[in-house]
Structure 1
Amino acid sequence: MIKTNSSVKSVMVLLLFCCVACQPKITEKEALKAKVSNQIDSIKGDVAVAFLNLSNPEDRLYINEEEEFHAASTMKVPVMIELFKQKEAGKINLNDSILLINEFKSIVDGSPYSMDIGDDSDDVIYGKINTKVALKDLMYSMITVSSNLATNVLIELVDAKKVTATMRNLGADKIEVLRGVEDQKAYDLGLSNATTAKDLLIIMKAIATNSAGSEADCTEMVRILKDQQFNDIIPHNLPKDVAVAHKTGSITGVHHDAGIVYLPDGNSYVLVLLSKNLTDFDKGTAQLADISKIFYDYMTKE
């Protein structure tokens, strides 16, 4: 048996220590990405993430940010922005009322279709059909309770093409607002509203930084978004003193949330979580909420 003397042992230990010490240290951003990626890997479905620290524009994280998703109800935020834009241009007055009619034209052939109360998240508005409703009230319902009927009325008013054009001017170059909700003929032909996580981040950032309209209008948009009634993702695992101005969207196998998170210390960030092909909707939703908590912990670390 060959014995190793103490000096050789000391050299070996020193070399081992040096090897360990020379390993590059993982950065906070790398640790964040690893945590988020691990959580995404646990979700049975496809997920995209976009994050931006509004206090430090260099502090951002993208995962699958250019992948296309059905926009679901997140497209209602661009419609809100267009409403304020046309208000500022003097084309509409949000205090004015419009006759609420439940009949719309398909973008495919102009054939009429109506909304079904059973497929809408806002049943109160159906009791107002054939009466006049203020545009600002329709807009509020479109965002806070995701009213599909209100959305279709407003899209016909402002024109979907103009909504998309306004998003292009903001720098969102992939999002497409083609039509209102429940246009089955369009859906069957693959003509659906689409977005990416990066584009929704650009849009929410524009609201947060008063770039989506006047400062007063952006402040009002944030106020409306803070009244969101569906809070299963971004705000779900956060403390009650954290304010979130956000818009969700969901259809079969799809659940999204895009928002601005306002922390008690004055810092804020934009977070977009998109998902599709979820095999377990409820579990996937909970896992997305866990991703939101990872970003909150990152932003509030001491």
Structure 2
Amino acid sequence: MSLTSDYSDGVPVASYCLSTLAGEVLAERKADTRFYSASTIKLAVLVAAITAVERGELSLEQELISTHTFSSQAGGSFSFEPEEYDVGMAAEGATMTLREVLGRMISVSSNEATNLVVELVGFPAVMTALRACGATDSKMERLIGDITALEQGLTHEVTARDLCRVMGAIVRGEVANDEHTELMLGWLRAQEYPVIGTELSTFAPVPEWGSKSGWVTGIQHDVAFIFPASSVAANSAARQGFLLAICTRAYPEPDAAELIHALTQALLGPLLEPTP
């Protein structure tokens, strides 16, 4: 069975890009195919925000007002339904620091947190972040949950290659200084909705990893950085490691997850698990 939705044309397709941490592509399939991004676009929002912090335009300790209602790119506003709320966010009207909001955006994929950050930095900054990381085929044109704008053709798109490029720029320390790089890696390591990572946890020895997943009806993606257990360098940027992005469309969620697990095993197993 294949799934058709606002984000899926019903034609099953999977793509992947596997590279070294330095960016050398080791394996790929349809790596430049564009997909609706789901929450993987939040990596670019993170880069935009941390870049602004690095320039002194924002502070991680500045306070943002929690809300469920946001401006639509189509005009007017929209609100999340109560069942869509991130219960870990502050009550509506209360404040959270930018540091706390960014953490929830990445580790628990909070949509409210994401929209707060995008409204703070602006869409041009997100696009600039994508291009600065070498992501040439990705875009973010509306807030998460802005269905009216979606109906007018505004969307988010990524490719497997672009996801590797953004993740690689973060991990290699090209986005921020050492302190902020480790902060971002910590949020990625704390991912509460792993797909690639779920399979990596079955490896022996288990590698170090962090990831950003994304899913909506008919869409399931994940992108991860992976450090072999044998990598002992103190500086993450100096470690030997890998980047893996897998994007799927039109598969039911359990089937998409199984496909991502199988590809993770096939692509990374020979690189990470010792030969008997």
- Asked if TM exceeds 0.5, the reply is yes
1:290 equivalent to 2:262? Answer: yes
SS in structure 2 of the partner of residue 129 of structure 1: coil
Deviation string for 1:159-192 (max 9, x for gaps)?
Answer: 0221111211221111101121110111112211
- The structure that is strand-richer by fraction is 2
How far does residue 146 in structure 1 lie from its aligned partner after superposition?
0.6
Q: Which residue of 1 aligns with 2:82?
A: 117
Higher Rg of the two aligned structures: 1
Q: Which residue of 2 aligns with 1:273?
A: 246
Question: Aligned to 2:29, which of 60, 63, 67?
Answer: 63
Q: Quick check: 1:50–1:65 contact (8 Å CA) kept in 2?
A: yes
Q: Quick check: 1:48–1:274 contact (8 Å CA) kept in 2?
A: yes
Gaps of 5+ in 2: 1-10, 232-239
CA distance in 1, matches of 2:150, 2:173: 34
Question: Aligned to 1:234, which of 196, 208, 211?
Answer: 196
Gaps of 5+ in 1: 1-43
CA distance in 2, matches of 1:261, 1:144: 17
4+ residue runs over 6 A deviation:
none
Q: Which residue of 2 aligns with 1:140?
A: 103
1:99 equivalent to 2:65? Answer: yes
Q: Give RMSD over aligned pairs.
A: 1.6
Aligned sequence identity (%):
22
Q: Which residue of 1 aligns with 2:113?
A: 150
TM-score by length of 1: 0.80
SS in structure 2 of the partner of residue 124 of structure 1: coil
Q: Quick check: 1:173–1:199 contact (8 Å CA) kept in 2?
A: yes
CA distance in 2, matches of 1:73, 1:287: 19
Q: Which has the higher contact order (CA 8 A, sep 6+)?
A: 2
Q: Which residue of 2 aligns with 1:85?
A: 51
How far does residue 97 in structure 1 lie from its aligned partner after superposition?
1.1
Q: Could you tell me which amino acid in structure 2 is paired with residue 114 of structure 1?
A: S
Q: Per the alignment, do residues 58 and 72 of structure 1 end up closer, same or farther by CA in structure 2, a change over 3 Å counting? A: closer
CA distance in 2, matches of 1:92, 1:238: 36
SS in structure 2 of the partner of residue 48 of structure 1: strand
CA distance in 2, matches of 1:71, 1:183: 14
Aligned length in residues: 253
- The structure that is helix-richer by fraction is 1
Deviation string for 1:77-126 (max 9, x for gaps)?
Answer: 111111110001111101111221222111122x1111223235x3232x
